[in-house]
Structure 1
Amino acid sequence: MNQLEERVYQNQEDEEIDLMELVKILLNHKLMLIVVTISIIFISGIAGYILNKKNMITSVVIELNYPELEIGLNPDKTPFLKDNLVSINTLNTVFAEFKKDKIKVKEFADFRNSLSIEGVIPDNVSQKIETALKKGETLSYYPTQYKVKLKEMNKNVLERLSIEAVEEFEEKYKPKSEILLMGRVNNIYDYDDYILLFNEKIRSLKLNFSLDYKINYYSKILGYSFNELNNRIDNIQNIELKKLESFLDIKGLSNSKNTREIKLRADIKFLNLRKEKLIGESKVIKNILDEYKPTNRQIVVPSMGELGIKLETENEYYSKLIEKYLLVNTSIENIGYEIKFKEEEISKIVYPTEEENKMINESINLLATRLNEVIEDANIINKEFYEVKYGNMIKILTPVEISNSGKPMILFLGVGAVLGLFASIFLIFICEFIKNYKTRFSFKN
């Protein structure tokens, strides 16, 4: 038992001696240990710096703010795509401007591929999306902020790119508020043409006022809403324009008799063609009515689809035919009255007297002035409305920043320290081994 304890004690003592020898060896070569470790840390730092420099990117955040984005649309109701924030045209312009001295890539394809656009999704939205996915549901979300990244260290390139992108987006998608004014009388058009132009302008104005829930928008500049403008237009159309139109119809006045007669005869020709077509259709229906009278049997009439008649049951075919027959013949009668009315218009077309022509021109100019007053006010409210709704539809949210997409430098330095320590210990032991080998070899000789 004593021999065993003595042997264990001896082994422990040998190990302590060996460990002390190792420490002594390292201390004897401490200069090598320090130099090699520091050298490898330095090399690792340089390698990390070079690697990170290759992975440097510039980034900027662009923010969108308009109502249609919530459902994934552009302001003009077309589908929104994040990649379209920076168009090919913008990329081409910036590449051509900076390719000589500030862009490191030489090919446009490489420059385009170095650009990436990522949506910035808030943490609370990400959690909602994850929860929805776990439940087997889908949650649509369109970010309002997008991070534009470019693998270029020069801030000027991305600054120019983002400014161009914002300007192009506004130019392309921001609604235009300017409505063109009505022109004054210049004797190019017939009186009827002016009436048509006025009605068309009024129709487009009403349509413009009704868009995007405008009608109740209250202008802080003018002190009233689009609804007030709509009422003013109704008064112009229903009172003043109708008055002029009725005067011209009763008198049959025209400042271009031949042109108006040609137009009316063309209308009559077209109406006669429609009338002949309807007469032919009426004859077909009459023949079917005479041939397929109701009986106790159910009858299927194959020509119903061709006549535009849909049957719920086979027994109602006869009542549907009669209904269609009456409708077609009523249309024929109405077209006949319309043709007669236009023929009467041709017979009573006369040139106005100088006094009548002056009065009509004054009335047209007055209508144009009244309508232009409404248009000018509409342009003011439109501009105010779109500035409120789309004034900040897109903007650059953050300045351009240069960041590193590689690994932190501390990681490279830490790896260098570990590698340097092991490499220096390895070299020290190699040197010690060579030294001992030479000593032993010399001793034997």
Structure 2
Amino acid sequence: MNLEKQNYVPENYKEIYEDEIDLKELFLVLWRNKTKIIVVAIICMVFGLITGKVMSSKSKKSTVVVEYTYPGIEVGKSPNGSTLGLTYSQFKNIFMIKDIFHKMPELEKNGLTEDNVLNAIKITPVLPKGLKEGEVYYPNKFTYSLKIANSSEKDEEVLKNFIEVQKDYFKRNYALTSRLPLLNYEESLTYDYKDIISVIDTSLHSSIVAIDNLDQNIISLEDKVEMQNILKELKILKDINLVKIKNMVEDYRVTKNPNELMINYRQQLEELGRQKEKELGKISQLESMIKAYKPDSKNVVVMNNGSLEKIKTDEENYYTDFLRQLAVEKIKLSDIQVEMKYIEKKMKQEVNADTSKEKEVDEGLEYIVSSLNKKIEKINDLTVKNYNKKYSDIIKVTETVTTKSDSKVPLMTLVGLLLGGFIGVCYVLVGNFIFEEKKKKNDNK
């Protein structure tokens, strides 16, 4: 039994033995041809290195990170108050690109168009870390990227010019939008007094509105005090001085065009006549309804030129309120009649030919214009000083212009090395197999 065990040999012993010999031979073959394998691996590694550099050069792009500081960006608004879209197209437009081409004429010589550059500038918001899904966030930092020219230096230059052009555009269009014009009294001497008064009144109103429109949040305490003083002086000029001159023109009947004055009076009488007829109609209807009043009525409808006017009160005060409205309409009619008589009286009077009266009016108007112009200059100074604070530094560059790329060199070099080694091994093994086959054929012959 032991003898049988000792003499026992597996049927596939020879194959196993031969396989072991083949593995050793395989290793020896690879070792003998290691130079070939290394050469092939180096060639592929160099090819991978070149491929990585080419891919990296194609992926190169110039970038810059900017931060917007204008009021409204924190709620997703553009400088003009409109809502920023997903493309942030308000931050770039063809007018900015035209300025770039004006600064860099070589772009057009290189075959680039304004649309090419406009579309190549990409704007990507910089989102903070830890932003949760579904959380609303309005970014104020953005990455500008550009890849259009043959060299990264040219892309960087284009991007730098774009930032400067953008700053100029924003300041020009969103900072100081308008200034109040000064009045030239000498040019208005050919106008009639009422027209001059109307122009001055409009300018006074615009000045008051300009003061009110200044942003109180960015104005210093000293400027606020000056604003209040200017506002008081403007209201005095408007409500006291100008009204006084207007009354003087009416009372003195001074005019540079008597015919136009009479036409103006007739137009006023016609308008007052229409208002009088309207009031008479209301009063007539109200009086008839009072006579026909019944205590159980809930509504009284007053017809007035096709419109409906309803009086609704509780039953106790209904009749009293109804009479009160009638009294109000009669007061309006009385005021209209007084005004008509005053104008008719003015029409019968002779136009004042006293030059001293005209001189008095001229001096009063000239004083108002002179004072108003001084206030306008101060308002314009305040506007420039304070309103521009909103947009004095509307764009801040937080990361300067650089050229970045998704570097594929290390990865492609490693891939080339591994692939080259594999190809080298395969090349050696296949060559050795072909050599062995030829040798066996020769031996068999």
**What's the TM-score once normalised by structure 2's chain length?**
0.81
Superposed displacement of residue 226, structure 1:
1.0
2:153 counterpart of 1:147: no
RMSD after superposition: 3.8
Q: How does 1:414-433 map to 2 (within 5 A)?
A: 414-433=414-433
Aligned to 2:128: 122
Aligned to 1:413: 413
Superposed displacement of residue 385, structure 1:
0.7
Superposed displacement of residue 413, structure 1:
1.5
- Verify the 8 A CA contact 2:176 2:383 in the aligned structure 1: no
How far apart, in 1, do the equivalents of 2:329 and 2:24 lie? 118
Q: Partner amino acid for 1:412?
A: M
Q: Partner amino acid for 1:146?
A: F
Q: Indicate how the Cα distance of structure 1 residues 150 and 442 shifts in structure 2: closer, same or farther if over 3 A, else same.
A: same
Q: How does 1:166-181 map to 2 (within 5 A)?
A: 166-176=167-177, 178-181=179-182
2:104 counterpart of 1:100: no
- Verify the 8 A CA contact 1:63 1:397 in the aligned structure 2: yes
Larger radius of gyration: 2
Aligned to 1:48: 52
Superposed displacement of residue 242, structure 1:
3.7
Q: How does 1:25-104 map to 2 (within 5 A)?
A: 25-81=29-85, 82-92=88-98, 94=100, 97-102=105-110
Superposed displacement of residue 86, structure 1:
0.6
- Verify the 8 A CA contact 1:275 1:335 in the aligned structure 2: yes
Q: Indicate how the Cα distance of structure 1 residues 53 and 315 shifts in structure 2: closer, same or farther if over 3 A, else same.
A: farther
Superposed displacement of residue 74, structure 1:
3.6
> More displaced, 109-118 or 144-153?
109-118
How far apart, in 2, do the equivalents of 1:167 and 1:5 lie? 98
Q: How does 1:188-267 map to 2 (within 5 A)?
A: 188-214=190-216, 217-218=219-220, 224-267=225-268
- Verify the 8 A CA contact 1:115 1:149 in the aligned structure 2: yes
Q: Partner amino acid for 1:49?
A: K
Q: Indicate how the Cα distance of structure 1 residues 279 and 10 shifts in structure 2: closer, same or farther if over 3 A, else same.
A: farther
* Cα deviation digits, residues 223-244 of structure 1 (max 9, x gap): 9431121122233334433433
Q: Partner amino acid for 1:66?
A: Y
Equivalent residues, number: 430
Aligned to 1:342: 343
Aligned to 2:157: 156
How far apart, in 1, do the equivalents of 2:327 and 2:7 lie? 127
Q: Partner amino acid for 1:444?
A: N
> More displaced, 314-323 or 178-187?
314-323
SS in structure 2 opposite 1:309?
strand
Q: Indicate how the Cα distance of structure 1 residues 165 and 439 shifts in structure 2: closer, same or farther if over 3 A, else same.
A: same
Q: Partner amino acid for 2:203?
A: K
- Verify the 8 A CA contact 2:175 2:390 in the aligned structure 1: no
Superposed displacement of residue 85, structure 1:
0.8
> More displaced, 429-438 or 341-350?
341-350
> More displaced, 249-258 or 278-287?
278-287
Superposed displacement of residue 301, structure 1:
6.3
Superposed displacement of residue 116, structure 1:
1.6
Superposed displacement of residue 436, structure 1:
1.2
Superposed displacement of residue 271, structure 1:
3.0
SS in structure 1 opposite 2:308?
coil
Q: Partner amino acid for 1:415?
A: V
Q: Indicate how the Cα distance of structure 1 residues 277 and 113 shifts in structure 2: closer, same or farther if over 3 A, else same.
A: same
* Cα deviation digits, residues 24-43 of structure 1 (max 9, x gap): 22221122211211221222
**What's the TM-score once normalised by structure 1's chain length?**
0.81
Aligned to 1:437: 437
Superposed displacement of residue 302, structure 1:
11
SS in structure 1 opposite 2:64?
strand
